[in-house]
Amino acid sequence: MCGRFTLTTRDIATVAGDLAARVDREREKLYRPRWNVAPTDEHWIVRIDGKGQRRMEPARFGLDGPGGQLVINARGETAAALPTFRQAFSEGRCLVPADGFYEWRGGRTARRPLWFHDPSGGLLVFAGLAFERQGSPAFVILTTAANDLVRPFHDRMPVLLSPDGAREWLTRADTDLLSPAPEAWLAAREVSARVNIVANDGPELLQPPAPESQLKLI
């Protein structure tokens, strides 16, 4: 699954430029770098507007599903067929910019977070689905089977899109685009246990926990 992630780029114009998207001037003021995006937080998505242009806008991470349960992910293999996601899969596909996501190792009392990120420090693009609920946008992140790098820590991972894949995802609903990313797209390292508390948010979260316990997976 993908429940916690980062977008640490300082300038929204950089993110929008990398995604060939436009941002309304008033909404630019809402942007801030994030080291611990969590469910129900406001984050940024990119989708096609009525003029056929890419538009970057804030949206809530997570959808109130049946029974009021919060839904943050949708399985790429089945989303197109499920009532909760079917319309968004057809009409609400979006991109979710990030530069890393977290998974954990260890038991409940000793959870050790790992940060999976682009080896060169670049942007990651998750495949997402956007919804309108009571006049406000919300989104979920599509997941797929974990690749060999992520699998020791979780059996699922977010769908990562290449630039070509991102373009295709915005223009057509194709489940073939929702496959595991190559291992070379990601590196991972253990980071501060401060990530475990969702209220914590700052660059110190990506610091190693201690030199002797640092995990190197690159």
Query: Domain coordinates of the chain in residue numbers?
Result: 5-213
Q: Evaluate if pTM is beyond 0.85.
A: yes
Active site residue 132: no
- Cα separation, 45 vs 95, whole angstroms: 6
2 carries an active-site annotation:
yes
Full pLDDT tens readout for the chain, 218 residues: 689 999 999 999 999 999 999 999 999 999 999 999 999 999 999 999 999 999 999 999 999 988 889 999 999 999 999 999 999 999 999 999 999 999 999 877 788 999 999 999 999 999 999 999 878 999 999 999 999 999 999 999 999 999 999 999 999 999 999 999 999 999 999 999 999 999 999 999 999 996 654 444 54
207: amino acid identity, one letter: Q
- The answer to whether 98 and 18 are in contact (CB under 8 A) is no
Single out the catalytic residue among 94, 103, 183, 212: 103
Write b or e for each residue in 150-180: b if 16 or more Cβ atoms lie within 10 A of its Cβ, otherwise e: beebbebbbbbbeeebbebbbeebeeebbeb
Alpha carbons 12 and 10: distance in angstroms, whole number: 7
| Calpha distance 198→175 (Å, rounded) | 32
DSSP for 55-95 reads EEEEEEE-EE-GGG-EE-EEETTTGGGSTTTHHHHHH-EEE
CATH number for the region 5-213 comes to 3.90.1680.10
Selecting among 2, 57, 94, 190, the annotated active-site residue is 2
d(CA 190, CA 188): 7
Q: Is the dihedral of CA 154, 184, 215, 5 positive or negative?
A: negative
Report the candidate in 65, 46, 78 with the shortest Cα–Cα distance to residue 142: 78
